[in-house]
Amino acid sequence: MTLAVHYTSARTLDTAPAASSEPGPGEVELAPAYVGICGTDLHIFHGDMDARVATPAVLGHEMAGRIVRVGPGVEGWQPGDAVTVMPLRWDDTCPACRAGHQHICQHLDFIGIDSPGAMQQRWTVPASTLIRLPESLPLDRAALVEPTAVAVHDVGRAAVKDGEKVVVVGGGPVGILIALVAQAAGAEVRVVELNAHRRLLAEELGLSTWDPAADDITEIVQQWTGEAGADVAFEVSGAAAGVETAVDVLGVRGRLCLVAIHPRPREVNLHRFFWRELTLVGARLYDRSDFERAVTLVADGTIPADRLISKVVPLAEASAAFEALESGADVMKILVDCTDDTQGATE
C-alpha cells in the first residue's frame, strides 16, 4: 500500500493508504516526488467545487517525479525517467477538439480535479500526458513547470511583444510567473500587488512593483507610458478592483488578458472598451508547446523556481499546508513531498 492525500469534505483532508495497481495499456505508473498546491486546489479545499469533485478525491496537478512502471504498448519511456504531467485528457470528438483546441475540450478531464491527482506516492496516468524533464533539473523546481506553462500560455494569448508595456494585476505565484515570462519576451513589466511580502519577492526577482493601496495606479501608468497607457494588462487578482484597474490602465487598442477565476459576474467598464477599441481575451490552461517552453524556462533559470518555493512539507502535513496558504501567510508556493515514506507506506 502507498499513501495518498484525500479530500473528503470542505476543509477536510485525510492522508491514508491507497492501493496501486499495474498500469494498463498506454498508461504509466509514476512516483510523484513533489506536488505544488495551487489556487484551484484551495477552491476545492474550501468546498467550492463539490458539485464537480467526487469524494474522496486525490488532489494535485503541479508535479514532478519519475516513472516506476510502464504499461503495455508504451514506447519511448522507461522506469527512472524524470517527468512532469500535462494533466489534461480530452475526447477528441467535441467541436472544440475538432477545431484543434483540445486543451479546452468541452468534455475535458482535468486530472487532479475530475479524476485522481498527484498528491500520492504512486500515480497512474496516460503516457500521452508525460512531459520529459532534463536530468539536471531538480525535481522540486520542476514541480513549478505546470504553473509556468500557464504563464507561457497567458503571455501567448495576450500576444506580448518586445518593448511593450505590460501591467500584471496580482502578484501571487501565477502573476509573478506571468511577469517573468513577459519580461523574458522583452516587455517592460510592472506588477500591482497589495501584499508587501509578495512585492518584496517580486522586486528581489528583478521585477518592478506598485502598491495599489498607496499609489494611484492609473496615474502612474500614464506617467510611465507618456500618457499612452499600457499595451497589455493581465488580471490575475480575482478581485473586482483588479478588473477595474486592469481595464483602466490600458491604452488605445490595448489587450486585457483574463487569467483569474471570477466565480461571480463583475462590473466592467464597457464604454472604455468601445472608446479605446480594447480587446479582452480569456486564457485557460495550456498545450504541449507551452509545457515544453516552460521546461526550458525553469531549467535555464529564467524562472527562478527555487526562490518561489516557500516551504516543502511531507504528505502527512498537507492539510496544514493548505491552511497556511488559506490564511494569507507570507508564502508563495508550498510543495508536498511525496517521497517521505516515514508514515508507514510500503512498495
Q: Active site includes 103?
A: no
C-alpha cell at 4: 495518498
Q: Which SS3 state, helix, strand or coil, does residue 228 take? A: coil
CB burial class (10 A; 0-12, 13-18, 19+) of residue 204?
A: exposed
Neighbours of 286 (CB within 10 A): 24
Known catalytic membership, residue 40: yes
CA torsion, ordered 149, 153, 159, 164, to nearest 10 deg = -40
Q: Which of 40, 218, 302, 339 is catalytic?
A: 40
Classify 76 as helix, strand or coil. Answer: coil
Of the candidates 2, 12, 43, 225, the residue annotated as catalytic is 43
Spatial distance between the Cα atoms of 316 and 321, rounded to a whole number of angstroms:
10
Whole-angstrom CA distances from 193 to 153, 165, 210, 245, 344 are 22, 17, 6, 11, 42
Identify the three-state secondary structure at position 342: coil
Query: Cell for 124?
Result: 497512474
Residues acting as catalytic residues: 40, 43
